[in-house]
Structure 1
Amino acid sequence: MTTPADCVELLRAMVRFDTVTPSASGRPEAEGELGAWLADFARRWGFHTRALPVAGAAPNILITCECGHDAPWLLLDSHLDTVGVEGMTIDPFGAELRDGRVWGRGAADTKGTGAAMLWALHESAAAGALAWNTALLLTVGEEHLQPGAQSFAARDLPTLGLRPWGVVVGEPTGMRVVAAANGYVRARVVTHGVAAHSSTPERGRNAIVDMARVISRLQSEHVGRRPAPHPLTGAGSCSINLITGGTQINVVPEQCEVRLDQRITPDQTPEQALAEMDQVLQRLREEDPTLRVSVAAAETAAPLPHDQNTAVAEWASATLRGAGQDGSIVGAPYTTNANRFAQFGLRCVVIGPGDIAQAHTAEESIGVEELHAGVRGYRALLETRDRS
């Protein structure tokens, strides 16, 4: 593959790599080829690169450029994986350039931010304009559980000798500054019955029938309840989205399971959300002591708290506005790598070119002018030191 001549060509080259996230593609190292190619590309520009192992996955790629020993570190992050391509109505890996846009899976979410970050780092370094020692982290697995971000924060960061003043996570925000974001709790609720032959159902206990009562109560007392909205991220949400039960048509089912997806605001914690679900179930247990029902977390991600990120958000907002970008401080209802980094005490904001409405769509794309605006915005951040 030839060396891209500009950021648009870099993005198109990235989109041509199939990096559908391992949980969807079944390929544990789905991002490995793209990560290795970008590392080689960065070394040609004189940057130092490292492959940082992630258990059971392709490695993260860390690209660094130091401008001076006394300068603080700024960490940029962009993920390499994408969601699946089922239902797409364009060639997901064609990277077509037409109508002033780059088309393909990941163009917006979020190879566009990665291309803009790397190109901005190249331009700022070549101009001798870097105000920060800069690390660009290209992470794996963000679309499912964020193992790349978690591995870096827990294992690599304490040993690398750099503690970033702030972290800029790349996602398509229209160059607005996301300083708070919702987290999530994906919970498993299980009813336990007694199996029996369907010719004598009275000898068993039907877990699906029990689950019908549980669903009705959860829907009325938990799913439909809305806590006060957060000033930046809005209200949380909750829905029952999966149900499984039974083994075959002539057996009374001994187990039934539903999965809930609850989006929690920065005013909540995953533990609180689970406790509230269990309180609803406990009232059912008290009404019927023979009911066996349990709730447990299948996956969780803590929210991104606004207060922790105020200094970085205000610096980024002022810097971007000074460079002619939007720069307004907002919140987001979705979860990113920033949620994971924040759990380790890092101050994070989410900023990037493109529109989140394009993410995961059948005709995903990003505008060429949006991409160029991303390069300008990231350059402004790389070349402007916090003075507070």
Structure 2
Amino acid sequence: MTRLPPETDPVAILQQLVRIDSVNPDLVPGAAGEVRIAAWCADWLSAQGFDVTVLEQTPGRPSVVGVKRGTGAGRSLMLNAHLDTVGVTTYAGDPFSGARRDGRVFGRGAVDTKSGVAAILVAAARAAAEELAGDVIVTLVADEEFGSIGTEEVLRSFHADAALVIEPSSLELTTAHRGFAWFELELTGLAAHGSQPELGVDAIWHAGLALRALDGLRQQLNAEPAHASLGHGAVRVSQISGGEDAATVAARCVLTVERRMLPGQSPERVEAELRALFTELTVEEPQFQFALTRLVARAAFEAEPDWPIVRALGASVVRLLGRAAATRSEPFWTDAGLILEAGIPCVVFGADGEGLHADTEWADAQSVRALADILAGTITEFCGLTAG
């Protein structure tokens, strides 16, 4: 195995990581995926004395786990960041340059979230160089940008007393985000010649009924009490297709329905809600025939302010930045939802930057260094030091 130099600057590591193409192949067919970047990180962790496991249940989609055992007298902490990025088709300039200008590192994944990977590597190595009482578990995962198969695979084999999920947050604590669920609604009608529509059953017409019902649900969600920081849940149709040609009554129409959920709203609950909504339409229109299939569903996330990991991270922010940690919520989903669902208290935290999924992306170099320092302090605080 190649031994990498003991790089201690997270910004220099970030630049090297950005230069490795790790576009998610589920988003861009034929893209590089995580193989090269996972190998780089596995080598780096091994060189720092971590016990490294590469998980790859899905061929070509590896996740890396590096463990540094403590003495057994403290709490274990998982640090999680994703290796994959979104595509680069419209990126302005070289998406893999890793160039540094005006205190910023540029390139695809610079802030989302190779900055997090770099900071985790440096922070975990710094903290593990001390006599920690608890275990440090570094999890660098595949596929967060699409299906989260990496974190799912990690959680089948590894557990911890708490976790830090590193995603861009401008050095603020993200303590809540929405969940989401995608459904396919298939409407079945009966084909007929367009000159005699009464002989058929128009699935596209029935799609209009479904859209009207979903708009009623949207209004209902907006009328409910809002979450303190996330506002209201949401429902919308993101895709629709149906019909064969201009002269035929549509025998089939398919809608993709997206439901954004608040904490406490489970995927099972929102599926039952939708199923009841469309079942009501069969009473209004007896020929309305539907099949509802859940495609992907992820629960929302919300941290409790008195969790030890939230307090430890907040204390580390105060020590390093000289101010209390600000908190925020996000409308989008992260792997924190899966980690919390696995029974591991967690909080989301990350560097400053701009251009997530955009044509130009950059991470603020100073914030990346601050992130590494804050994470190292949090690891020491949470896992504890062995009494000398």
Same fold by TM (over 0.5)?
Answer: yes
Task: Give 3-state SS (helix, strand or coil) of 1:84's partner.
Answer: coil
Separation of aligned partners in 2, 1:225 and 1:141: 31
Separation of aligned partners in 1, 2:213 and 2:157: 45
1:87 and 2:71 correspond = no
Aligned residue in 2 for 1:133: 135
| Structure 2, unpaired ranges of 5+ | none
Instruction: String of CA shifts for 1:6-40, please: whole Å, max 9, x gaps.
Output: 22121111111121112112248710111011111
Partner amino acid for 2:151? A
Aligned residue in 1 for 2:180: 184
1:203 and 2:185 correspond = no
Instruction: String of CA shifts for 1:269-308, please: whole Å, max 9, x gaps.
Output: 1222222223332332211112112333221001113349
C-alpha change, 1:276 and 1:310, in structure 2 (3 Å) is: same
| Structure 1, unpaired ranges of 5+ | 158-162
Q: CA RMSD in A?
A: 2.4
Percent sequence identity over aligned pairs: 27
Task: Give 3-state SS (helix, strand or coil) of 1:23's partner.
Answer: coil
1:352 and 2:353 correspond = no
1:215-254 equivalence runs, <5 A: 215-222=211-218, 225-226=221-222, 227-254=224-251
Aligned residue in 2 for 1:101: 104
Aligned residues of 1:179 and 1:349 also touching (Cα < 8 A): yes
Indicate which of 286, 289, 294 corresponds to 2:291.
294
Aligned residue in 2 for 1:20: 23
Moved more, 227-236 or 330-339: 227-236
1:142-153 equivalence runs, <5 A: 142-153=144-155
Moved more, 301-310 or 139-148: 301-310
Q: How many residues align?
A: 379
Partner amino acid for 1:186? W
Give the deviation of 1:370 after TM superposition: 1.2
Aligned residue in 1 for 2:157: 156
1:310-321 equivalence runs, <5 A: 310-321=307-318
Give the deviation of 1:120 after TM superposition: 1.4
1:160-171 equivalence runs, <5 A: 163-171=159-167
Give the deviation of 1:386 after TM superposition: 6.5
Aligned residues of 1:302 and 1:340 also touching (Cα < 8 A): yes
Aligned residue in 1 for 2:170: 174
Aligned residue in 2 for 1:335: 333
Aligned residue in 1 for 2:319: 322
C-alpha change, 1:333 and 1:309, in structure 2 (3 Å) is: farther
Task: Give 3-state SS (helix, strand or coil) of 2:258's partner.
Answer: strand
Partner amino acid for 1:121? A
